[in-house]
Structure 1
Amino acid sequence: MKGPILFLGIGGSGMSSLAHMALDLEIPVIGYDKKSSEATEFLQERGSTIYHSIETIPLDGMQMVVYSSAINDKHKDVFDTIKGLGIPLKHRSEFMHLLVSKQKSISVAGSHGKTSTTTMVSQILTEKGFDPTIMIGGDTSLLQKRGGKIGSGNFAVYESDESDGTFLGHKAEYRLLTNIDNDHLDYYKTRERLEDAFFEYMGFQSAGETILFCGDPGIKAVLQSKHKDLAFHKGFHISLLVTEDIVKEEWFQNLQNHWANQITTILYKLGKDELTFQLGNETYRLTLPYPGVHYLTNGLVALTCAFRIGISPNDSIAILSRYIGVKRRQEILGQWKAVTVVDDYGHHPTEIKMVIQSLKDKHATKGKLHVLFQPHRFTRTKLLLEDLANSLLGADFLYLLPIYSAGETPIPGITSMSFLPFLEANPPKMLSGELTADLEILKQNLKPGDLLLCLGAGNVRDWGVSLLSEPEAR
Structure 2
Amino acid sequence: MIGIKGTGMAALAELLVHEGAEVSGSDVADQFYTDAILKKNSIPVFQGFDANQVPYDAELIIYSSAYDPQTHPELQRVLTLELPMMEYSAALAAYSRSIPFAAVAGVHGKTTTTAMIGTMIRRLELPAKVLVGSGVSNFQGSPTYSGGNDFFVAETCEYRRHFLNFNPQVCLITSIEADHLDYFENEADVRFAFTQLMEKLPPGGTVVYCADDPGAKQTVESYASGNPGLNYIPYGFSSGETELEPLRSYRISNHRVESGSQSFTLERVPGAVQPRNPDSVGRPVSGEPARRDIRLQYPGVHSVLNAAGALALLESIVSLGGESAGSIGFDDLSDALGQFTGTTRRSEVVGQAKGITIIDDYAHHPRAIAGTLQGFRDFYPGRRIVVDFMSHTYSRTFALKDEFAQCFQAADVLVLNDIYASAREENRWGIRGEDLAEAVSRNHSHVHYIPDFSGAAEFAQKHLQSGDIFVTMGAGDNWRVGRMVLNALEARSS
- Are the aligned partners of 1:24 and 1:149 in contact in 2 as well (CA < 8 Å)? no
> Which amino acid is 1:432 matched to?
P
Cα distance in structure 2, aligned partners of 1:84 and 1:227: 47
1:361-380 pair list within 5 angstroms: 361-365=378-382, 367-380=383-396
- Are the aligned partners of 1:109 and 1:160 in contact in 2 as well (CA < 8 Å)? yes
Report the 3-state secondary structure (helix = DSSP H, G, I; strand = E; otherwise coil) of the residue aligned with 1:402.
Answer: coil
1:381 corresponds, among 380, 394, 397, to 397
> How much identity, in percent, do the aligned residues show?
25
Counterpart in 2 of 1:4? none
Q: Deviations over 1:318-358 (max 9, x none)?
A: 11212121011111112232111111111111111111101
Report the 3-state secondary structure (helix = DSSP H, G, I; strand = E; otherwise coil) of the residue aligned with 1:426.
Answer: coil
Counterpart in 2 of 1:3? none
Change (3 A) 1:44 1:363: closer
2:255 corresponds, among 264, 268, 271, to 271
Cα distance in structure 1, aligned partners of 2:371 and 2:418: 22
2:183 corresponds, among 183, 187, 192, to 187
Q: Does 1:288 align with 2:277?
A: no
CA displacement at 1:57 relative to structure 2: 1.4
- Are the aligned partners of 1:185 and 1:194 in contact in 2 as well (CA < 8 Å)? no
Q: Deviations over 1:62-83 (max 9, x none)?
A: 1011112111367356434423
Report the 3-state secondary structure (helix = DSSP H, G, I; strand = E; otherwise coil) of the residue aligned with 1:277.
Answer: strand
Counterpart in 1 of 2:475? 457
Change (3 A) 1:338 1:223: same
Cα distance in structure 2, aligned partners of 1:129 and 1:194: 36
- Are the aligned partners of 1:390 and 1:423 in contact in 2 as well (CA < 8 Å)? no
Cα distance in structure 2, aligned partners of 1:442 and 1:205: 49
CA displacement at 1:186 relative to structure 2: 1.4
2:45 corresponds, among 38, 42, 50, to 50
CA displacement at 1:231 relative to structure 2: 2.0
Cα distance in structure 2, aligned partners of 1:150 and 1:43: 16
Q: Does 1:410 align with 2:427?
A: yes
Q: Which moved more, 1:369-378 or 1:268-277?
A: 268-277
CA displacement at 1:370 relative to structure 2: 0.6
1:291-330 pair list within 5 angstroms: 291-308=299-316, 309=318, 310=320, 311-330=328-347
Cα distance in structure 1, aligned partners of 2:147 and 2:440: 49
1:1-150 pair list within 5 angstroms: 7-37=1-31, 38-40=33-35, 42-44=37-39, 46-51=41-46, 52-72=48-68, 75-76=71-72, 78-150=74-146
Counterpart in 2 of 1:240? 234
- Are the aligned partners of 2:119 and 2:339 in contact in 1 as well (CA < 8 Å)? no
CA displacement at 1:174 relative to structure 2: 1.9
Change (3 A) 1:295 1:423: same
Change (3 A) 1:454 1:200: same
Counterpart in 1 of 2:165? 169
Can you give the 5+ residue segments of structure 1 that lack an aligned partner in the other structure? 1-6
TM-score, normalisation: structure 1: 0.89
Cα distance in structure 2, aligned partners of 1:185 and 1:122: 30
CA displacement at 1:248 relative to structure 2: 5.2
- Are the aligned partners of 1:272 and 1:293 in contact in 2 as well (CA < 8 Å)? no
CA displacement at 1:36 relative to structure 2: 4.0
CA displacement at 1:381 relative to structure 2: 0.7
1:160 corresponds, among 138, 156, 163, to 156
TM-score, normalisation: structure 2: 0.86
Report the 3-state secondary structure (helix = DSSP H, G, I; strand = E; otherwise coil) of the residue aligned with 2:168.
Answer: coil
Q: Which moved more, 1:144-153 or 1:387-396?
A: 144-153
| Matched length | 453
Cα distance in structure 1, aligned partners of 2:448 and 2:190: 35
Cα distance in structure 2, aligned partners of 1:465 and 1:299: 29
Counterpart in 1 of 2:192? 196
> Which amino acid is 2:331 matched to?
N
Cα distance in structure 2, aligned partners of 1:43 and 1:282: 42
Counterpart in 2 of 1:342? 359
- Are the aligned partners of 2:356 and 2:470 in contact in 1 as well (CA < 8 Å)? yes
- Are the aligned partners of 2:10 and 2:37 in contact in 1 as well (CA < 8 Å)? no
